[in-house]
Chain A
Amino acid sequence: MTQGFILFVSVAYLLTLFAIAWLVEHGVRRLGGLTSSSLVYTLSLAVYCSSWTFNGAVGRAAQNGFDFLPIYLGPTLAFCLGPIVLRRMLRISKANQITSIADFIGARFGRSAGVAALVTVIAVVGLVPYIALQLRSIANGFATLTATTPGGAGHPLLFDGALWAAVMLTVFAMLFGSRSIHPGEHHPGMVVAIAAESVLKLFSLTVIGLFTVYVLFHGFGDLFAEARANPGASQIFAYTPDRYGFAWVAMTLLAMVATFCLPRQFQMMIVENVDERHLDRAMWQFPLYLLLINLFVLPIAVAGRLLLPGTENPDNLVLALPLLGNQPVLALVAFLGGVSAAASMVVVETTALSIMVCNDVVMPALLRVKSLGLQERSDLTQLLLWVRRGVMVAVTALGYLYMRHDSAQTALVSIGLMSFVAVAQFAPAMLAGLFWRGATKAGAVVGISVGFAAWCYTLLLPSFFQSGAEAPSFVTDGLFVIPLLKPYSLFGLTGLDAVTHSVFWSILFNICGLLAVSLFSRQQPVDRAQAAAFMDADNPGEAANLWRRTALIPDLHALASRFLGRPRVDRAFAVWARGRGVDPATAVTADAETVLFYERLLASVIGAASARVLVGALVEEEPVGVDELMSILDETSRLMEANRQLEDKSRALETATADLRAANARLTELDQLKDNFVATVNHELRTPLASIRAFSEILRDHPDLPGEQRAEFLRVVVTESERLTRLINQLLDLAKIEATGALPSAVVPTDLVAVVRESAAATQQLFAARNVALRTRVDVNRALVMGDHDRLVQVLINLLGNAAKFAPPFKGTAEMSLRRLGEGYELAVADNGPGVSPRDREAVFERFRQIGDAMTAKPQGAGLGLAISQSIVEQHGSRIQIEDAEGGGARFSIVLKAVTARETAPPEPEAAPTLVG
Chain B
Amino acid sequence: MLRRVMRRDRMIGLFVVGVVLFNPPILNLVGGSVFGWPALFGYLFAAWAIVIAGIALVVERSPGPPDGPTAPRR
Interface residues of A (CB under 8 A from B): 36, 65-66, 69-70, 73, 76-77, 79-84, 91, 94-95, 182-184, 186, 220-221, 224-225, 227-228, 236-245, 248-249, 252, 273-277, 280-281, 283-284, 287-288, 291, 295, 298, 537-538, 647, 651
Q: A77-B18, A228-B33, A241-B28 are in contact. Are A291 and B8 (CB under 8 A)?
A: no
* B8 A239 Cβ-Cβ under 8 A: no
User: Using a CB–CB distance below 8 Å, which chain B residues touch chain A?
Assistant: 1-2, 7-8, 11-12, 14-15, 18-19, 22-24, 27-28, 31-33, 36-41, 44-45, 48-49, 51-53, 55-56, 59-60, 63-64, 68-71, 73-74
Q: Is the CB of A83 within 8 A of B69?
A: no
Contact: A79 with B55, CB < 8 Å? yes
Q: How far is the CA of A70 from the CA of B59 in the complex (A)?
A: 24
B69 touching A538, Cβ below 8 Å: yes
A190, chain B: closest CB distance, angstroms: 15
- Do residues B64 and A277 form an inter-chain contact, with CB atoms below 8 A? yes
* In the bound complex, CA of A675 to CA of B1 (Å): 43
Known: A277-B70, A651-B2. A237 touches B51 (CB 8 A): no
Chain B: CB-nearest residue to A69: B44
**What are 7 contact pairs spanning A and B, CB under 8 A?**
A91-B68, A237-B39, A240-B31, A275-B71, A277-B70, A291-B45, A651-B2
Residues of B within 8 A of A273 (CB): 71
- Contact among A184, A238, A277, A291 with B52 in the assembled complex (CB-CB below 8 Å): A291
Which residue from A241, A291, A537 sits with its C-beta under 8 Å from B48?
A291
Say whether B24 contacts A82, CB under 8 Å. Answer: no
Q: Determine the residue in chain B with the shortest Cβ distance to A242.
A: B28
**Alpha-carbon distance A84/B10, docked complex (angstroms):** 11
Q: Known contacts being A94-B71, A283-B59, is A66 close to B31, with CB within 8 Å?
A: no
Majority DSSP secondary structure for residues of A touching B: helix
**Chain B residues within an 8 Å CB radius of A66:** 40-41, 44
- What is the CB-to-nearest-CB distance from B54 to chain A, in angstroms, rounded to a whole number? 8
What's the nearest-Cβ distance from chain B to residue A881, in Å?
44
The answer to whether A76 and B31 touch across the interface, beta carbons within 8 angstroms, is no
Q: A244-B24, A275-B70, A284-B55 are in contact. Are A83 and B11 (CB under 8 A)?
A: yes
Q: Is the interface of B mostly helix, strand, loop or mixed?
A: helix
- Selected from A65, A183, A225, A284, the residue in CB contact (under 8 A) with B59 is A284
| Min distance, Cβ B61 to any Cβ of chain A, angstroms | 11
CB distance from B3 to the nearest CB of A (A): 12
Alpha-carbon distance A239/B32, docked complex (angstroms): 5
| Chain A minimum-CB-distance residue to B41 | A298
Report the Cα distance A80→B44, complex, angstroms: 17
Residues in B with CB closer than 8 Å to A84 are 8, 11-12
**Given B8, B31, B44, B45, which contacts A83 in the complex, CB threshold below 8 Å?**
B8
CB distance from B11 to the nearest CB of A (A): 5
**Does A95 lie within 8 Å of B59, measured CB to CB?**
no
In-complex Cβ contact of B74 among A186, A228, A236, A240 (8 A):
A186
Query: Is A80's CB under 8 angstroms from B23's CB?
Result: no
Distance between Cα atoms of A537 and B51 in the complex (Å) = 30
**Is B44 within 8 A of A288, CB to CB?**
no
B69 contact from A91, A243, A245, A284, Cβ within 8 A: A91
Chain A, residue nearest B25 (CB): A242
Q: Which residues of A contact B45 (CB under 8 A)?
A: 291, 295
Partner of A77, one of B15, B31, B44: B15
Assuming the A-B contacts A66-B40, A77-B19, A224-B33, are A276 and B52 also in contact, with contact meaning beta carbons closer than 8 angstroms in the complex? no
B33 in contact with A81 (CB, 8 Å)? no
A245 engages B24 (CB within 8 Å): yes
B64 surroundings in chain A (CB, below 8 A): 276-277, 280
A residues less than 8 Å from B52 (CB atoms)? 76, 284, 287-288, 291
A283 to B59, CA, bound (A): 8
Q: A77-B22, A248-B27, A280-B64 are in contact. Are A537 and B74 (CB under 8 A)?
A: no
- Add 11 more A-B contacts to A80-B18, A242-B28, A252-B23 (CB < 8 A): A66-B41, A83-B7, A83-B8, A236-B38, A239-B39, A248-B24, A248-B27, A280-B64, A281-B59, A291-B49, A295-B45
**A537: contacting residue among B2, B69, B70, B71, CB under 8 A:** B69
Q: Given the known A-B contacts A242-B28, A252-B23, are A80 and B69 also in contact in the complex, defined by CB atoms under 8 Å?
A: no
Neighbouring B residues of A236 by C-beta, 8 Å:
38
- Is B31's CB under 8 angstroms from A239's CB? yes
Is there contact, CB below 8 Å, between B40 and A80? no
Which residue from A73, A81, A651 sits with its C-beta under 8 Å from B12?
Answer: A81
Measured between C-beta atoms, what is the minimum distance from A527 to chain B in Å?
25
**CA separation between A84 and B7, bound complex, in Å?**
10
Which A residues are CB-close (under 8 A) to B56? 284
Q: Please measure, in the bound complex, the distance between the C-alpha atom of A15 and the C-alpha atom of B48, giving whole angstroms.
A: 37
B24–A283 touching, CB < 8 Å:
no
Ordered nearest first, which 4 A-B pairs have the shortest CB separation? A239-B31, A80-B15, A284-B56, A237-B38
How far in angstroms is the closest Cβ of chain A from B65?
9
B32 in complex: contacting residue of A36, A237, A295, CB < 8 Å:
A237
Query: Is B11 a contact of A80 with CB atoms below 8 Å?
Result: yes
Residues of A close to B44: CB separation below 8 A? 66, 69, 73
- Chain B positions within 8 Å of A73 at CB level: 18, 22, 44, 48
Residues of A close to B59: CB separation below 8 A: 280-281, 283-284
> Are the CB atoms of A76 and B7 closer together than 8 Å?
no
